[in-house]
Structures are given as structure tokens and as C-alpha cells.
Structure 1
Amino acid sequence: MLPGQDRAARHVLLVCLAAGATTLVDQAVLNIAVPSMRQSLGAGPADVQWIVAGYSLAFGLALVPGGSLGDRYGRKRFFLAGVAVFLLAGIVAATGTAPGTLIGARLVQGAAAGLVNSQVIGTIQDVFHGVDRGRALGLYAVTGGVAAALGPPLGGALVAGLGAEAGWRCCLLLSTPCAVLTLTLATRWLPPPRRTSGEARLDILGLVLACGCTLTLMLPFIRTPDSVAQAVAWPCALAALFVLHQRLRARRSRPPLVHPALTSSKPYLLGTGVAMAQFGSSLALSLVLTVFAQDGLGLSALVTAAVLLPSAAAMGVSSAFAWRVVRRLGPRTVHAGLILGIAAALAGALVALRVPEPGLPVALAGTYMLAGLASGLTVAPNQTQVLQHAPAEAAGVGGAILQMAQRIAAAVCLSAVSAVYLHTGSGSPRAAYALASCVCGALLAVALVLALLRGSTATPRSPARAATKATSAEVRRREVT
């Protein structure tokens, strides 16, 4: 897995990868089964919206509190608790007979997934350092990306093979054996709980304000607000209160929820912006392509899954070799990946407008495969560059903020890009898909600008700091073994 690492570190990484696959495939696999689930439960549009998007909402809400708790009280106990709750909530969701039961179970499951993934990032930060950390984060990104990309094909195969009723329930149970395996391995192989933050007291008010800000940011994209002004006012007000509260705590020499090194680091903030634009564009393009293939072209769920499958394979291959490209190109690897992604989005738009209908599924699969290659070159290298600016005592929070920002971006981009497609799709589905694909390309262009700006602000680390970090890495490695 990582040839330079000892056996204990490899076991820890295996647990982290299993957790990432378990929690991320669960959301992706359900999307393609929504029509059969809606018919089976008699769910209305609002119910379906909460079932699908509620998972992301709860996931995003749990990330920063989970990262902070792991930093302060140790990660293992929260990791185990999160996987156990995720497992039980998944069983409840799969056996539910009413929309309300499914909504509640998915909210709980999303919160548990957020708690688990915040511990995963922190654990990787604790155990791996230098080049090994980059490779470990790369493997984690590969696992999550491939799991998310494999979700629709797996869901389509289950619905097609088992029928509508049993199919969508099996989609929800697909992560159950993975969760059991993850729980078993984590009990044996995760290192004992160890605080990485020097201060035991938790910033409770900061947690409440952070959760409230995340909730009010994401909720308008799940449920239509009463007014635009109200939708904008609440998150802005809570964000202002959060910033003020963090500054007051810092002045009083009390540790804020968000470590000052994170908010004062331009490379961290710009890298997070890159991740937001790339992640939102990737998910939005996948959703629009799925809708266009089924509603616009009349393809079955199984054929749609076949169109999406090459992208998953391409992302897995390019992610696995991305660290080799990084050794040659350095930070420019992210630039190359984003440029390739822009080209893939524009090629998809051109294909939708020009290619005759019999050859269109194959052509779309080809352009989406290029998008998968681009994601593999972008996600892991960018994530590594972002998290290298997070200090050890804020590793969990730093990773959690990055993931939370991506979840918020996903909610915004999924809503906005799908609205672009649906608004223009009544006249010509092909033109609507082309326009939506161009919007996704524009988002990647924004990410490219931010990545170029980050390159101009990043400063090399001093030798003294590098030596200190190397010594710290050796101490932690001994603790793991």
C-alpha cells in the first residue's frame, strides 16, 4: 500500500480507506434509485429532496464539531461511535415503510458519516508525514472518488436486477457489510485515543454558531426559502457572529474553534476555494449527465450506469498515479488537472450538440471519462497542499473545514446547475446539457484562477521548521508502533 511505512501504519490507512468507501458510496448509490423509491413509498417531491439532500446537510453539520472533538479528546472513540450509528441508521432506512422514517434515518446516518470522516482526516494527519502523508491522502481521495463514481452503476445494477422495491432497499443496505468490516478492523488497528490539542475545554458557543451557519447556508438549497433576503441574512449574521466570537476568544487567550493558523493562511483558504469549485462542479456534472441520459435520451438505469462507469475507472487510475506526476510537476499538477477538466466539460457540451443520437452515449462516456481523469489529478494533490498548512493540534478541524466547505459547495452547485438544466431543458435537452456542462467548466475555471493565486502566495518552509516537523514525525511514528 505504502511501501515505506511500517505494518501498523498500513493497518491504520486500511481502516481509513474502508471508512471512506463505506460512508461515501452510501450517498452516491441512492441517487439512481430515487424514482423507484419514490414510487414504493408514495413520497412527495419535498420528501425525496430531504431523503437525498438531508444526508449531505447532516454530514456537513457534523464535520467541524467532529474534528474538534477528535482533536481534543482522541479520535478512536468517536470513529467507532460514528461507524456504529451509521450502521444502525442504515438498517432502519432500508427497512422503513414511510418517508418520515427514511428522512430521519438518513439525517442520523449523515451526521454519523460526518463524525467518521472528520476523524479519518485527522488520523491520517497524525500518523503520516511528508511524502507518505500525500500518498495516504491520495489513496483516501481515490477511495472516496471511486466509491462516489461507482455508486450510480451499482445502484442501477441493483434496481435492474432485483426490481424496484427490493432494489432501492438493497442500495441502502449495500454499505452494511462494509460498515461491519470497518468497525471490526478499527477496533483492532486504530491507535489508542490521544489528544492532539493542548487545551481540553471545548468552544461550545463556537460549535453552535458554526453549525447554525452551515445549516442556514445549506438549507435554502434543500427547501425553498420564504424570501431571498431571509436566505441571505441568516447565514451572513451567524457568520459575522462566529468571526467576532473567534476573535474575542483569541484576545482572551482562549483557544477558538478554528485555529488561527487556518484563518490566517492564504494558501489554506485559496486551496479550500479550489476544492469547493472542483467538488461542486464534479458532482453537478454527474447529476446533470444522469438526468440527461435517462430523461433526455430515454436510457435505462443500467445503460446510464454503463455511461458513468468509465469515469470511475479513470479517476481511480489517475488518482493512483497522481503522486508520481506531483514529483515531476509539483503544485502545477493541480493546474493540469483543472485544465483537463475544463476541456472535458467543453467537449461534453460540443458532443451533446453535434453527435448523432445513436453514438451519443458512447461519446458522452468518453468525455466523462476525461472528467474522471482530471478529478484524479486534482483532488488528492490539492487536498495535500491544503492540509499541509494545518498545524498538528488542528489537523481534525482543518480537514473538517475543508470537507464542510466542499459539502456546502456541493449543495449550491447541485441546486444551481440542475436549475440551469431544468430551466432550459423543455425546449431541447441537448442544449440544456450543453449549457449546464459549460457552467461546470466555468466553475473549474474559477478553481484554476484560485490555484494560480495560491501558487503566487505560497512560501517555502524554512529548514528549521522542516527539521522540527521531521523530529515530531519520528516521535509520532514510534507512538503508533
Structure 2
Amino acid sequence: MSTGEEGRDPRRWRALSVALVAGFMALMDVSIVNVALPSIEQGLHADTSDLQWIVSGYALTFGLVLVPAGRLGDARGRRTMFVVGVAVFTASSVTAGLAPVPAVLVAARLLQGVGAGVLNPQVSGLVQELFRGAERGKAFGLLGATIGVSTAIGPLLGGGIIKVLGADTGWRWIFFVNVPVGILCIMLAFRYVAARSGAERRDEDLDLVGVALLGIAVFTVLLPLVEERNWPGAGKWLLLLVSAASFALFVWWELHQTRRGHAPLVDLRLFRIESYTSGVIIGLLYFSGFTAIFFIITLYLQLGLGYSALLAGLTVTPFAIGSAAAAALGGSVVTRLGRPLVAVGLVLVLVGIGLTDLVVSVRGDDPGWWIAPPLLIAGIGSGLVISPNVTLTVSEVPVAQAGTASGVLQTGQRIGTSAGIALIGSVFFGAVATSHGDFAHALSVGLRFTLVLVAVALVAALVDVVTARRRREPASLPGPR
């Protein structure tokens, strides 16, 4: 195969298109189930704990396999790992669609998360591998837009499917639609994504101990949050101590692996890159609030106000529109504006969520179109956060570590998603119970918790801007002159 100008793969944009379609599909599954939760609750007799695990369990396994999958992509070829991830995701989508009981659906969602976690770091790894200079910024802008739009548009697409096919079977088809897309992505990957062999690594270099320790640390945080209402007594909170101990052991083990000359699950030396460290922290905090918004708003609209799945999806569409438009803009100007652009985006998100809370407080029994403008503002802000933050975070990472670095970044995002849904979901359901079914009050409480998380992310962004200026270094990527 011949290459294009400066040795670049002439198929790079087609390869990127295939990768982005698969990434869109996997990321959309974070939120597409939200509008289907009432149908799943009725169809499978699921309880609130099941509903939270269906959403947060997917994000959990998604996040836990990102880092080892990124390293495997770096070492053994991104096309191979991409195809494996898409295949696992597609097969588990079939299982989810056929699930006869909640336990099977939860298990299928956990496996879906594994597939998503395997394929996603290959996408950003391919961007690092195939593109240079201004093209890389454009490619990362498209990736950022994909991340933002996929999560935001999920409720609308899910609502449309349920509207057309009915509540009884429509929720199953939100999983079945992944099957033809997944098969097509596998076929096109073999055609457009070049096979590249990486350096051979031994099985022990996969650092299964690190995977286990990180998994225990995250799981023992989520379990008491998700099961808060079903698990009486204060004993469950002792699991937070187990989580802290597991995370401390994880850090020690990773340092130990590095000293022994073995490949750690997370190369902690990546965090010497200040732009990378800041981006990971911002991503973790922001995603802990960002994706929980759709979870609680769609439950409020459907369970509290009796909206159909489609109408609930349409209600949050302004967020998707704003996010898509702003992500494209953010990707094109981030090289000039840098991290201050992320801070501006976070401010807009805070304003949008705050106004949404105000609308719900005033018109909780029928928000109508009043909720659209604040969601649009929040969506614009989100687009200016996600796309630029991805670009800035990996901008100084060596290409050889692109997959691993992307895996760590997305792990932070997915763990934030999982923990945020568990925390804010528990707060929401608890408020529903204590207020005797006042869903508007419960949504306001949940939105205020979200405001706190986004505000902390803003503080992290501002600290990064200030420290960069004090070092007399630009807080932006070097752009073309």
C-alpha cells in the first residue's frame, strides 16, 4: 500500500470515520438506555438498584478495561483490538436485547462495557498514529464532537425507537440496533484500518494485579451508593475504607511494577505532564456530573410527569444541539485559546444547570419549553469542555503511549460517569422517597449535587490556567504560525 503526502496513510480519514462510528455507538449506549428505564422497570419488574446498575455498571466495566486495552492496542495493533472490542460489544448487545430478567440484562450491560472499553482507546490512538499537525487538531475535534453528541443524542434516539416499536419491545431494540452497525464496522475496519504489529509483550505485562486492585477500589465505592436504599444500616459505608486501601495498594503496586522494569497498568510518569494531569482530573469531575443529568432528567420527565420516551428525548435535544455546535467550534479554536476555553465552557454548564433548576423549581409540574433554553446553554458549555479537554490532555503525550494515555483519560471519564450516576441517582431516588413522590423536588436536589461537581471541575481548570501563566508558559497548544 502506498502512502500519501509525508508518508501519511491515504485512507486515514476513512479509517477515522469507521472508528468514530463505532466510538459513537459505544458512547451513545451510556445514555440511550435512560429513556428506556421505565419500560425496562415494567417489562422486567426491575427495582431502582437494577436500574442504576444497568446504567452505571456499563460505565464501570467500560472504564476498567480502557487502560489495559489501550496498552494492548499500542503493543499488538490497534485494528486487532478495535475489531475484538466491536465484536464483544455487538454480541453482548444481542444478549441485552433478549434478556428475560434484570440480572441477565445487568450482566449483558457489564459485558457491553467491556467491549466498549476495548474499542474506544483504539480510536484516539488511531488519531495520534494517523494524523499530524493541524490535521490532528481537526481529527481530535471530530472525536470530541463524537463524545459530546453521542451521549447527548442517546435519549432522543432511544425515545424514537420506543415510540415506533412500543414500550414492551422498543427497549430491546435500543440494543438490537447496535448489531448491524457493529458488523459493518468490523468489515470496514479490515478494509480501511491498516494492520500494524506492535512490540511483543508477555502475558504478565498485562498487570492483572493492577486491574484487580483498581476494580476493587472503584466497585467498593459504587456498591454502597447504588445499594444505599436496599442495604440498611451504616455498615455499608465501611466499604469506602476498603476502596481507599485498595487504591493506595494500586498506586504502590504500579510504582513497584515500574521499579522492577515491568509494564504497569498505569504509567504514573504520565502524570508528570501537567497538561495531562489537569485534563484527567477535569474529565473525571465533569463526567461525574455531566452524564448524570440525563439520567435524572429523563426519570423526572417520564416517571414524574408521565412524558413518553420520545417526548422525554425531545426535551433534552437542545443540549445535544448545543453540544454538537460548540464541540465543532471548540475543536477549531482550542489550539489558540487552550485551557481558558474549557473554563468558559464549565461556566456555561453551571449557568445552564442553575437555570434548569430554577425552571423546575418554578414550573415543576409542567416545565414545557421553558427547560429548552437552559439546556441549550449547558449543551454549548459541554461542547466547549469535552472536545478541547481531550485535545489539550493528550497534546504532549508521546505517540508510543497514545493508547495507554487515552485509556487512562477515558477511565477517569467512565469512572466519573459511574460514580456520578451512583451518587446522584441515590440522592434522586432518596429525595423521591422522602418527599413522597415529588419528582420535581428530587430533580432539583440532584441538579444541585451536579452543580457542585461541575464547580469543582471549574476550580481545577482555573488552577491549571493560573499555574501555567505563573510558569510563563502558554496555557494553550502551540498552533501553526
Distance 1:220 1:402, change over 3 A: farther
1:69 and 1:208, CA in 2 relative to 1: closer, same or farther beyond 3 A? farther
Distance 1:356 1:26, change over 3 A: closer
Q: Partners in 2 of 1:303 and 1:347 — Cα distance? A: 21
Alignment partner, residue 452 of structure 2? 442
Aligned to 1:191: 194
- Structure 2 unmatched ranges of 5 or more: none
Aligned to 1:477: none
Rounded to whole Å, the distance in 1 between the matches of 2:114 and 2:168 is 26
* 1:411 aligns to 2:418 (yes or no): yes
Q: Could you tell me which runs of 5 or more consecutive residues in structure 1 were left unpaired when the two chains were aligned.
A: 467-481
More deviation, 205-214/396-405: 205-214
2:35–2:312 contact (8 Å) kept in structure 1:
no
Task: Give identity over the alignment, percent.
Answer: 34
**1:274 aligned residue:** 282
Compute the displacement of 1:334 (Å). Answer: 0.7
Quote the residue 1:451 is aligned against: 461
State the distance in 1 between where 2:99 and 2:443 align: 35
Aligned ranges 1:366-385 → 2 under 5 Å: 366-385=373-392
1:394 counterpart residue number: 401
CA contact (8 A) 1:118 1:397 kept: yes
For residues 378-410 of structure 1, give each alpha carbon's deviation from its aligned partner in whole angstroms, at most 9, with x where no partner exists: 101011111124332321121111111112211
Deviations 1:149-174 (A, max 9, x none): 12111212222221122211111112
Q: Are residue 25 (structure 1) and residue 28 (structure 2) matched?
A: yes
Identify the match of residue 120 of structure 2 among 94, 117, 121. 117
Q: Look up the SS of the partner of 2:197 in the other structure.
A: coil
CA deviations over 1:332-370 (Å, ceiling 9, x no partner): 111111111111111112222234855x22011221111
SS at match of 1:169: helix
Cα distance change of structure 1 residues 323 and 290 upon mapping to structure 2, 3 Å threshold: same
Cα distance in structure 2, aligned partners of 1:194 and 1:207: 24
1:161 counterpart (141, 159, 164):
164
Q: Deviations over 1:318-338 (max 9, x none)?
A: 111213332553321111111
In structure 2, the CA distance between the partners of 1:248 and 1:191, relative to structure 1 (3 Å rule), is same
Q: After TM superposition, list the pairs within 5 Å mapping 1:146-295 onto structure 2.
A: 146-195=149-198, 201-224=205-228, 227-295=235-303
Q: Answer with 170-179 or 22-31: which moved more.
A: 22-31
Contact 2:57 2:418 in 1 (8 A): no
Deviation at 1:10, TM superposition (A): 0.6
The aligned length equals: 461
Instruction: Return the TM-score normalized by structure 2.
Output: 0.87
Question: Are 1:107 and 2:115 counterparts?
Answer: no
1:287–1:42 CA distance, 2 compared to 1 (3 A): closer
In the aligned structure 2, how far is the partner of 1:117 from the partner of 1:387?
15
Whole-Å separation in 2 of the counterparts to 1:461 and 1:455 = 10
Q: 1:229 to 1:431 in 2, by over 3 A?
A: closer
Distance 1:75 1:256 in 2: 19
Q: Tell me the residue number matched to 1:71.
A: 74
How many Å apart are 1:315 and its aligned residue? 1.0
> Measured at CA, do residues 36 and 435 of structure 1 come closer, stay the same or move farther in structure 2, by a change above 3 Å?
closer
Deviates more, 1:136-145 or 1:193-202: 193-202
Deviations 1:2-34 (A, max 9, x none): x99864211121122111112122332222112
Contact 2:64/2:211 (<8 A) preserved:
no
1:61, distance to aligned residue in structure 2 (A): 1.8
